[in-house]
Amino acid sequence: MKRLLLLIAVSIVWSGSVLQAQEYEYVPLVREGVEWGYTGDLGDYRCQIKGDTIIDGTTYKKFYRYTTCGLQKNTPCYVVVRENDKKVYYREITGDDREERLIYDFSLEKGDMAILYSRSFLDYMQIDVRYVDTIQVGSTYRKKLEYPFHDVIEGIGGLKNDWLVAAFDIAPCVPDCNVWIYLSYVKNLVTGEYEYGNKGACGDTYAYDPYVKDCNFGFYHHDPEDRYIWDIDVFAHYYITGEKAVNGKIYKQFVESKSCDYASGTEIALIREEDKKVYLLDGEKEWLWYDFTLEKGDTITIESASPLNPSGEKLKIPVVNTDTFEIGGKLRKRIYLRGYDTWIEGLGTENRLPLHSFEPSCGMDCGDKLYYQRIGDKISYLDNYFIHDLLEPCTSSVLDTQIETLRIARTPDALIVTLPGTGYRLAELTEMTGRLAWCAYLDSEAEGVTIPTATLSPGAYIVTLSNDRGERIVQKVMIK
């Protein structure tokens, strides 16, 4: 019996070891067929390794950085890289300084110290490994090293700043805390699969997002004279729901409500969509509302009798431009109309209330702003920069899902912020104009942070907490 139990135990240990060996796979950072995508305040760009070159008898891979959709033949190469024994080296191939330098070492373990080169500081720096973990990437597991203010992952690199400098705490506070660059994705160009992130690569499949669909969305209203957009107390909620058959066509109800239940709202229109065109039914007659097939140079005509036309005169509105951009996690078409608010596919207008699309554009001075769209339980769009601390009843769940409310205590000379969890690395306090008033790095296990306010002028400020994944929690505060 003891022998049987021993055999079972050995079998379990052996099979577990085999499973672990199968799951863990070292993936080199220096490899072809992969695109790294970055995003931030300095714009979006991509990086890729492709092709070999020999310098001083050593073989390197060419490293490219570009903003185009895919690596072009004329993209210049300024840096080469190589990897040996899990150590990554780089060297410049232009300029006077072409010395090879070590920038990553994936052989390190917890408690180890390494001297790695910082391309930002142009000097070697001591890097201490605080923690080592194994994370799942696809069907494999990879090693993750935690530095004092940053993490790096085998085969992926750093999660903050450029591929070649991401191992260091060189930004965002160099030159200032308002500059952010983050790794947004790593895509295997051979399989088409994402190793990090799940979207963002140029050339990802674009899918039309209809305007008429079961959803609800909200606008807030603010006083245009209130340039800080502090006094927000009017919210409007809209629901596209249900179906009604009229003259053999199926329409959806367009409902306006001041509460959280469309059943208590008022049906203000019947709408339908066909071939990317949205129609509004007024009595027995249909009127064109949106036409998302429009391209640059086209003109949309709105009849004088249309209930959507406040001017009483026929409108012929030229399309001055169109583009496709990512918003609300989707690639969407954007249509720019001369003199009128821009249309966004799947969302409509941002600065004009529904059914007011053909009132002249006035931007934020209109006083109305689209701030969320919900499809079922999923938030498909959220722009609550100016209302992140308002738990308006219908949207408190939206805010809680996307941005947690911070607990902030006040003393005569400080704000004491309780962190909503671990992993936050940077705290900032900014004026409403965007000027940085204060910032500090945080320990990843910190439970709170104290922000000094004694020297600050009274007024509205924004507290921002950031983590390595590029996620931010923001909340507006008043300092008296």
Question: How confident is the model at residue 92, as a pLDDT?
Answer: 85
Label each residue of 261-282 as H, E or C: CHHHCEEEEEEEEECCEEEEEE
194 Cβ contact list (under 8 Å, min separation 6): 185, 186, 187, 188, 201
Question: How confident is the model at residue 298, as a pLDDT?
Answer: 93
Question: How confident is the model at residue 40, as a pLDDT?
Answer: 65
- Whether 478 and 466 have beta carbons less than 8 Å apart is answered as no
Partners of residue 291 on adjacent β-strands: 277
In 3D space, the residue among 124, 163, 355 whose CA is nearest the CA of residue 240 turns out to be: 355
CA torsion angle 408 380 216 254 (round to 10): 150
Q: Higher model confidence: residue 113 or residue 58?
A: 58
Retrieve residue 330's tokens.
Answer: 């989707």
Query: At which residue do the structure tokens 């390494």 appear?
Result: 114
Retrieve residue 141's tokens.
Answer: 């597991």
How would residue 448 be classed by pLDDT, with cut points 50, 70 and 90?
Answer: confident
Q: Give 112-120's long-range contacts (Cβ < 8 A, gap of 24+).
A: 116/167, 116/168, 118/165, 118/168, 118/170, 119/90, 119/162, 119/164, 119/165, 120/165, 120/168, 120/170, 120/171, 120/174
pLDDT above 90: residue 467? no
CA–CA dist 185, 201 (Å, integer): 7
Q: Give 202-208's long-range contacts (Cβ < 8 A, gap of 24+).
A: 202/46, 202/68, 202/69, 202/70, 203/69, 203/70, 204/331, 206/324, 206/331, 207/330, 207/331, 208/276, 208/292, 208/333, 208/345
Please tell me the least confidently modeled range out of 220-229, 408-417, 422-431: 220-229
Question: How confident is the model at residue 157, as a pLDDT?
Answer: 85
pTM score of the predicted model: 0.47
- Whether 288 and 277 have beta carbons less than 8 Å apart is answered as yes
Burial class of 17 by CB neighbour count within 10 A (0 to 12, 13 to 18, 19+): exposed
For residues 277-300, average pLDDT: 93
- Whether 415 and 409 have beta carbons less than 8 Å apart is answered as yes
How would residue 464 be classed by pLDDT, with cut points 50, 70 and 90?
Answer: confident
pLDDT tens figures, 309-333: 999 899 999 999 887 766 655 678 8
pLDDT above 90: residue 172? no
How would residue 22 be classed by pLDDT, with cut points 50, 70 and 90?
Answer: very low
Burial class of 125 by CB neighbour count within 10 A (0 to 12, 13 to 18, 19+): middle
pLDDT tens figures, 82-134: 999 999 998 888 778 788 988 889 999 988 888 887 665 667 778 788 888 88
How would residue 293 be classed by pLDDT, with cut points 50, 70 and 90?
Answer: very high
In 3D space, the residue among 264, 246, 245, 265 whose CA is nearest the CA of residue 254 turns out to be: 265
Preceding amide of 420 cis, omega within 30: no
480 Cβ contact list (under 8 Å, min separation 6): 458
Retrieve residue 457's tokens.
Answer: 């002028």
- Whether 441 and 424 have beta carbons less than 8 Å apart is answered as no
Question: How confident is the model at residue 13, as a pLDDT?
Answer: 42
Q: Higher model confidence: residue 348 or residue 201?
A: 348
pLDDT, mean over the chain? 77
pLDDT tens figures, 221-260: 766 665 444 455 577 889 999 999 999 999 999 999 876 6
Torsion sign across C-alpha atoms 285, 215, 256, 368: negative
DSSP symbols for 305-360: T-TT-SSSS-EEEEEEEEEEEEETTEEEEEEEETTEEEEETTTEESSS-TT-TTSB
- Whether 402 and 384 have beta carbons less than 8 Å apart is answered as yes
Element (H, E) at 17: helix 2-23
pLDDT above 70: residue 416? yes
For residues 274-298, average pLDDT: 93
Retrieve residue 372's tokens.
Answer: 């969320």
Type of residue at 185:
Y
Question: How confident is the model at residue 388, as a pLDDT?
Answer: 42
Question: How confident is the model at residue 153, as a pLDDT?
Answer: 87
Characterise 430 by phi-psi region: left (phi > 0), alpha (psi -120 to 50), beta (else): beta
